[in-house]
Structures are given as C-alpha cells and as structure tokens.
Amino acid sequence: MPILRRTLLGALALPAVAQAQAGWTPERPARLVVPFAPGGSQDVLGRLFAQAIQAGTGQQMVVENRAGAGGILGGEAVARGPADGLSLLLATAGQTTIPKAIGRRMPYDPEADLAPVMQLLDSPVALLAGPNVPVTDAAGLIALARSTPTPLPYASTGIGTNTHLIMEDLKAREHLNVEHVPYRGAAAAFNDLLAGRIALMFVSVPSVLGFSGGALKVVATTGAHRFPSLPDVPTLTEDAVPGFTASIWTGLSVRAGTPPAAVAYWQQAFTKAMAEASLRERLDGLGVTSAASDPVAFGAMMQQDLARWRRVVAPLNISLD
C-alpha cells in the first residue's frame, strides 16, 4: 500500500486506538537508529533528540549508529526489525526517497516497510561560487553558467546525494552548462572550490557554518525565506530563480505495522521535546530548523520528494548498484 494512503488510514485510526491503549508506554529502552557514523551531523542530532526525549519523558533512548551504503544499512535495521514501537529511524532522503527514485536495489522497500511518524527538521542548502568565479550573486552565477561555452565544474557530496540532485534539477530548469564532479564529503569539495578547481556547488547549511578553512562565497540559499544563521544571504527564489526551493530534511520513521498508539506516543514526545527553547537554540546553532509535523504531513512530504527526484533522475542514467 502506498505510503500516503497507508498513513491516512493509520491517522484516521489514531484517536480510537489511542483511547483504547491510552496507557501505552515503551516497556524497555527504545533505540534511535542513526544511519551514519558517530561524530557526523546526523549523529549529533540523534543524540540531542535522545537526550531531550529522556529529559522530557523519563524514557531511556539509546542511539545506535548503523552506517554503510549511504545510510541504507540503518534503514534496513528498522525496516527488518520488530514492529513493536521500540525501534525508530532518524530518516533522511538517503534511505527513503532518493534510492527509491533512482531504482537502487535495496534490502527493503521504503514505502512498504517503513511508516512515517513525523518530520523533525528542515534545512535549505547553500549555493557557493568559487573565489575566482567573476560573480557576486546568484543571478550572475546563473547567467554565467547559462552562457559559458565550457562547462563549469560543480561539486557534490556524492552521486545520488541531495547536493547532486538539487544541482541537476536547477541545471535542467535553467539550462545551465555545468559538469558534475562528485566528492566523498564536503571537506574535499570545499578545498577544491577554494583552490579554483571547482566553480560552484550546493552544500548543506550546517557544513557551511561548520567550515573554518577559508572564506566561502555563499551567493544564495534555497529556502522559501532567508535562513536565520545567514540573514544577509538572499534566497535563490528572490534573487535569481523564482519558485525554486530545496531542502535537506530529517524525519522519524518506524517499521510498517507498528501499533498506531506507539506512533502517536513518539510523535507527541518528539513534538513536546522540540517545543523546548533549549533544544531549539541548539538546533538553530547547528543550521537546522524545527519542522515538527505528523504522520500524514510527513507521508505527503515524502511522496512529493519522491516525485521530484524521479523527475530529476529520469534523464540522468544514475546507478548506485
């Protein structure tokens, strides 16, 4: 059953089930599976959430890092685990919508085997230009990339990542003459951007805020509004490409078939935690913003995300197998 229809049916059942099982609480410590290695931004976020949940509910939550295959091993750990409400996935597009859009062979089906709980976070990406690229704003960069006879090399943090597909979406829409150069992470890409070997790139705002290796030329962000941590940087939609927005999201998923009362418990617990000013301040400092939602809204957002990436990857012949 498609994710959105299943989510809608589950949401309709939530009030009755919650009343019938109003006393549902975890029977033992829950695990929050972070599908990336310790020390990265998603790991930091996962540990912040686990601490906030424990402080707010008294419920112990253990962070379990399951890195590998672009996060798919972490997705598998939840999708193939018990549907008891005690295993949660700190989900991103990398384990759900993007590999599904590309048609990657996976040990689980993100639509059939995972169920949405809520979106947690949202962050736009930043558009950077190299220091030697003769532009000062996004409009100039777009104009240059349209008119150049030689393709401008652009960096991404890997084939099939958000930063790759967002640039390909912009390339198709604005008829840009750019050429993809994938990197294994933002740090190496930043070095080549500053050295002049790369002309432009999209990268997450947290990566920009955490970079101390030189002055980055940030010409735009991709949110609907200017990002609080970069208030002087215009959005791409206001400066150059009306209507073009993109973001990197983080959400919470469980195995399909998890009791609706358990889904409701976690949605309420995380929503309450994210209303705390102390956690919101920590998140703002990391370059992400709260986007607390519910199963229906998160399921609908993922369907939109999946449709977008299917459209983008259709002409690209990407393979991650």
What is the tens place of the pLDDT at every residue in 229-241? 899 999 999 989 9
**Nearest-angstrom CA–CA distance, 171 and 260:** 42
Clarify whether residues 223 and 252 are in a common domain.
Answer: no
Any domain includes 144: yes
Predicted confidence (pLDDT) at residue 58 exceeds the cutoff of 50: yes
Any domain includes 319: no
Show Cβ contacts of residue 263 under 8 Å, excluding neighbours closer than 6 positions: 10, 14, 85, 115, 117, 254, 295
Please compute Rg for the chain using Cα positions: 20
- The rounded percent of the chain whose pLDDT value lies above 90 is 83
Predicted confidence (pLDDT) at residue 21 exceeds the cutoff of 70: no
pLDDT of 2: 53
Clarify whether residues 59 and 194 are in a common domain.
Answer: no
For residues 301-316, give the mean pLDDT.
97
Identify the CATH number of the domain in which residue 230 sits. 3.40.190.10
Q: What is the pLDDT of residues 120-171, one digit of tens each?
A: 999 999 999 999 999 999 999 999 999 999 999 999 999 999 999 999 999 9
**Nearest-angstrom CA–CA distance, 191 and 198:** 9
Any domain includes 282: yes
Any domain includes 318: no
Any domain includes 31: yes
Chosen domain end from 183, 217, 239: 239
Q: What is the pLDDT of residues 266-306, one digit of tens each?
A: 999 999 999 999 999 999 989 999 999 999 999 999 999 99
The domain total for the chain is 2
Q: How many CB atoms lie within 10 A of CB 305?
A: 19
Clarify whether residues 210 and 257 are in a common domain.
Answer: no
Clarify whether residues 253 and 269 are in a common domain.
Answer: yes
Beta bridge partners, 152, equal 178
- Mean pLDDT for all residues in the chain: 91
- 55 vs 320, residue with greater confidence: 55
Q: Which helix (H) or strand (E) holds 8?
A: helix 3-20
**Nearest-angstrom CA–CA distance, 266 and 22:** 13
Clarify whether residues 223 and 278 are in a common domain.
Answer: no
Clarify whether residues 63 and 175 are in a common domain.
Answer: no
Domain residue limits at 43: 3-123+247-313
Clarify whether residues 234 and 142 are in a common domain.
Answer: yes
pLDDT of 226: 94
Clarify whether residues 56 and 72 are in a common domain.
Answer: yes
pLDDT band at residue 12, thresholds of 50, 70 and 90? very low
pLDDT band at residue 310, thresholds of 50, 70 and 90? very high
Chosen domain end from 239, 273, 304: 239
pTM, full prediction: 0.90
Any domain includes 320: no
pLDDT of 13: 42
Backbone angles phi, psi at 305, to 5 degrees: -60, -45
Clarify whether residues 213 and 292 are in a common domain.
Answer: no
> Can you read off the two tokens belonging to residue 184?
């294994």
Clarify whether residues 53 and 71 are in a common domain.
Answer: yes
Any domain includes 201: yes
Identify the CATH number of the domain in which residue 257 sits. 3.40.190.150
For residues 173-199, give the mean pLDDT.
95
Clarify whether residues 208 and 218 are in a common domain.
Answer: yes
Q: What is the pLDDT of residues 204-248, one digit of tens each?
A: 998 998 887 778 899 999 999 999 989 999 999 998 999 999 999
On whether the CB atoms of residues 115 and 10 are closer than 8 A, the answer is yes
DSSP letter string, 115-147: EEEEEEEEEEEEEEE-TTSS-SSHHHHHHHHHH
pLDDT of 23: 65
Chosen domain end from 239, 258, 278: 239
Clarify whether residues 140 and 118 are in a common domain.
Answer: no
